[in-house]
Structure 1
Amino acid sequence: MTDDPKLYDLSRRKMLAGLGAIGLASAGAGLGTSAYFSDREEFENNTLAAGTLDMTVTADVVAANQYWVNQGGLDVSAVADAQDAVMGLQIDDIKPGDWGIICFEIEVGDNPGYVQVCTENFAEDGGDNPEPEQAVEGDADNDADLGEFLLTTVWQEYNGATDGTGMKTDLNILDPVFNNNSDIVPLAYGEPDLDGVVDADQHHTTAREANAILDVANDGYIIKDDAGEPAVIGSDAEVYEFCLLIELPYEVGNVVQGDSVSFDLVFKTEQVRNNETPFMNDVEESPTNETA
């Protein structure tokens, strides 16, 4: 019997290819017949949202002298709660003896905040210079004197009526920050002289003095608590209130005729959380809400 050489014509390459095919088939069979231990846990619908800090400031004229009341002065009320500035108090005929009390309510929503109050664009103008003023100042002078004599004193409390029957004596706890002497004891209203002085224990600031304290160039004034620390406003839905007495004393006379004072009163708030030095950073670097 003669062997057929074709039956044994098996090259090395064909043999390796055949073995490779068998190996792949074995691997495939292994995947189908075994499994690793495994487990799976999930946290679904994760969301991170930034909080909000929103301030509202309400200003109401709560009491005034009878002339101001008769002119509708108690109808003045304004709420600042937007990016746009709100038109404030406009008095174009103030005379010696006129006075009014404006109370500001500050509310910080969603998260507690620190609040800074400052003045911007403070300006005085000599305005008209009628003959009675010339007789006092001299014909060539027309100085802007209203800011020197107009009292703009900050008080911590007002306990009177808000229907026009309230009085200056309903004010108490004169804010000691707005006095030249930090040792002055807060007292109830006392009648000041032309320089704002009542006695050795009490001084009412003039518009110029108040601006020096509040001027934005001097970093304004951060509202403090009784311990002298920045007050936390907005916790437990609390509303902070302070009142501003504007008064032109009887004794001023003709020196202020035609003069005027103008300024912007600006309120700013910054978050309390993670903020050990409020209002020390640039606006761009601080979560700040500003109301003018």
Structure 2
Amino acid sequence: MTGDNDSTDGVRFTRRSLLAGLGTIGVAGAGAGLGTTALFGDGESFADNQLSAGALNLRVTVDNIAHSTPTVRDNTEITPKDTADGEAVTIAVSDLKPGDWLLLEWNPEVIASPGYVRVTSVDEDYSNTEGRTPESETDTDSPGDLGDVLLSTIWASYEDLSGGISRGDLTGLDTTTDNEDTGLADWELPDLDGVTASGAHYTTMNEAHEVYRSGVVLRDGNGEPLTVGSNSEAAWFYQLLELPIRVGNDVQGDEVSFTLRFDAEQTRNNETPFDGA
């Protein structure tokens, strides 16, 4: 090799020596950084954050939508109005005669959030009293006898029938007030004991109270708790009150008092409404 080539060889970097040199520089740079005291900084804030609890409001409307005679209609008084929304509504029906009947339409609405609805016959508010004791009454001993014969049955129809209804429009007794769980294909008049020719058994006021005193959750046709409100299903249910035609004189002047309480619970995150009631 010539001298020029030897000189070139003297300053030639191999791949190994180049990598080693870069490594040395990197270590030196890192070491220099350890002594730095001026640090960059930045911060971002999200102000006025809020978490709001939702609302749920239950409102119930009731109306006497069908009746055996105009007299029954005129003797039905709902006060102070037909809508319960934070206050009690009283329904008073006077001067019922054997063969009289009326149909109450209850329409619970859940506003703001969907909810389940439970109906309870309040135990401490349920009573049978003798009331007046006219001369022809054959049983004047307390308690009164009206609760044992006045029929109170719920019909499993979750559609609004108030646009025009006759008693023949009712088909299908709700299982809560059909003691034999038979339902009805067509309208049938009950006998004195509340049993029809097909075997369906209408419940009396006393029997219905025993079922509803612990609370009954409204359910859909599949037996699942019904979701009411906020673009979900609406709920109507119909209570038929009827004094059988052959009731006799035992109940003259007697009175039945009852309170139905409606409660609502949210559906979201609630697999067992009202603790599985």
Q: What TM-score do the two structures reach when normalised by structure 1? A: 0.73
Residue 209 (structure 1) aligns with: 207
RMSD over equivalenced CA pairs, Å:
2.5
In structure 1, what is the Cα distance between the partners aligned to 2:127 and 2:77?
25
1:145 corresponding residue in structure 2: 145
For 1:69 and 1:91, locate their aligned partners in 2 and report how far apart those are by CA, in whole Å: 8
Distance in 2 between the 1:142 and 1:270 partners? 39
Counterpart pick for 1:114 among 113, 116, 138: 116
Q: Secondary structure at the match of 1:198?
A: coil
Within the candidate set 244, 253, 259, 1:264 is matched to 259
- The whole-number CA distance in structure 1 between the counterparts of 2:114 and 2:203 is 30
Letter in 1 for 2:210: A
Query: For 2:131 and 2:78, how far apart are their aligned partners in 1?
Result: 27
Number of the residue aligned with 1:225: 220
The separation in 2 between residues aligned to 1:122 and 1:142, in whole angstroms, is 14
Q: Residue by residue, what CA displacement relative to the aligned partner does 1:189-237 show, whole Å, maximum 9, x if unpaired?
A: 210011110134412111011100011xxx2111112221211111415
Q: 2:44 aligns with which of 34, 41, 46?
A: 41
Matched positions, count: 237
- In structure 1, how many angstroms separate the alpha carbons of the residues matched to 2:258 and 2:265? 23
Structure having the higher strand fraction is: 1
Question: Contact (CA 8 Å) 1:146, 1:256: kept in 2 or not?
Answer: yes
Residue type of the partner of 1:115?
V
Q: Per residue, is there more helix in 1 or in 2?
A: 1
Q: Secondary structure at the match of 2:136?
A: helix
- The letter for the 2-side match of 1:97 is G
- Where 1:252 maps in the other structure, the secondary structure is coil
Q: Provide TM-score, normalisation by structure 2.
A: 0.77
Q: CA deviation at 1:156?
A: 2.5
Equivalent position SS for 2:82: strand
CA distance in 1, matches of 2:246, 2:252: 13
Aligned counterpart, 1:5? none
Shift of 1:261: 0.3
**Aligned 8 A contact 1:62 1:74 in 2:** no
The residue that corresponds to 1:244 in the other structure is 239
- Structure 1 residues 154 and 81 mapped into 2: Cα distance closer, same or farther (>3 Å)? same
Q: Specify the alignment match of 2:13 in structure 1.
A: none
Shift of 1:110: 1.2
| Residue of structure 1 in register with 2:170 after alignment | 171
- Of all paired residues, the percent bearing the same amino acid is 40
Kept in 2: contact 1:109–1:237 (CA 8 A): no
Deviation readout 1:7-58 (Å, 9 max, x if unpaired): xxxxxxxxxxxxxxxxxxxxxxxxxx97412222222321001100101100
Query: Could you list the per-position Cα deviations for residues 122-155 of structure 1 after superposition, in whole angstroms to 9, with x for gaps in the alignment?
Result: 1000122222113xx4xx7465110111111111
Cα distance in structure 2, aligned partners of 1:186 and 1:247: 17
Alignment match, 2:270? 275
CA distance in 1: counterparts of 2:176 and 2:142, whole angstroms: 32
Q: 1:268 to 1:142 in 2, by over 3 A?
A: closer
1:125 alignment counterpart: 129
Distance 1:63 1:142, change over 3 A: same
Query: Where does the alignment leave 5 or more consecutive residues of structure 2 unmatched?
Result: 1-35
Distance 1:91 1:185, change over 3 A: closer
- Using a 3 Å threshold, how does the CA distance of structure 1 residues 105 and 160 change in structure 2: closer, same or farther? closer
Distance 2:269 2:133 in 1: 54
